[in-house]
Amino acid sequence: RKADSQSPRKPVRAKLDVPHPAPEHWREVYDAIKEMRSKFVAPVDTMGCALAQQHETDPKAPLSLNNKRLITLVSLMLSSQTKDEITFAAVLKLREAVGGTLSLDALLAADNAIISGAINKCGFWQRKTDYIKRTAQALRERFDSDVPNTIDDLCSLPGVGEKMGFLCLQEAWGISTGIGVDVHVDRITNRLGWHKPSTLGKPEKTRLNLESWLPPELHSEINPLLVGFGQVVCKPQRPACNQCTLSTGGLCPSA
């Protein structure tokens, strides 16, 4: 397992050789989405991965800051192919299952069956159980029992990809070095025609395109902005175009 967790992985690509051109009217579109988002609360706003650490309040917990970073990472690992509501509930259940404090020691000591029993509502829960155990071991052996603070180190952990890595850096460390592109960001930016040619289903290309022209100060906010928009309005199936000002304003080519 140790050798497996240390297997080399290709470094995360930092930028495009030639920047993608900024889409026409992108700022108007972005501000319109932001205005719409200010009027409703989406699941990501109350149960997103960034909020899981707020429930780790045990003042006697060892390495409490490390624990909060760990919880952010575990929550992101559980979130793949899983709705925020289910992920949020699974983190709460996992905390209780391992003794009330979701620490590295607790995860390492827990049997796989204990972890699986807590997270079995999540997609691919058996695989995620293995990833969590192997990641916990890697954190102990390679990162001084803490969550690493670089994208390449995060993506070297079992089950951690670019989206999780960039979001973990933002939420656990307050470091913004890239955009976390999930299915919502990928789908919505392609529906808006921001990628020429389309990058739909290719999140790394979507990320590199966006990072090449979107101002850096927006890199950390675009994910929760578009995730919430995608959960409530611009859904995968039957998007609520009648509720979207981009549709009536002629700013969305997919309306």
CB contact set of 240 (below 8 Å; sequence gap of 6+): 232, 233, 234
CA 228-231-234 angle, to 5 degrees, is: 95
CB neighbour class for 128 (10 Å; exposed up to 12, middle 13-18, buried from 19): buried
Structure tokens at 60: 């006697």
101 HSE (CA, 13 A, CB side): 16
Q: 185 and 206 in contact (C-beta within 8 Å)?
A: yes
Residue 163 known to be catalytic: yes
Give per-residue burial for 78-102: e unless 16+ CB within 10 Å, then b: bbbebbbebbbbbbeebbebbeebb
* Nearest-5° Cα angle at 87, 201 to 107: 115
The set of long-range contacts for 133-136, using a CB threshold of 8 Å and a minimum separation of 24, is: 133/107, 133/108, 134/1, 134/4, 134/5, 134/158, 134/159, 135/5, 135/73, 135/77, 135/159, 135/160, 136/104, 136/107, 136/108
CB 86 within 8 A of CB 121: yes
The active-site residue, picked from 68, 128, 133, 163, is: 163
By annotation, the residues acting in catalysis are 163
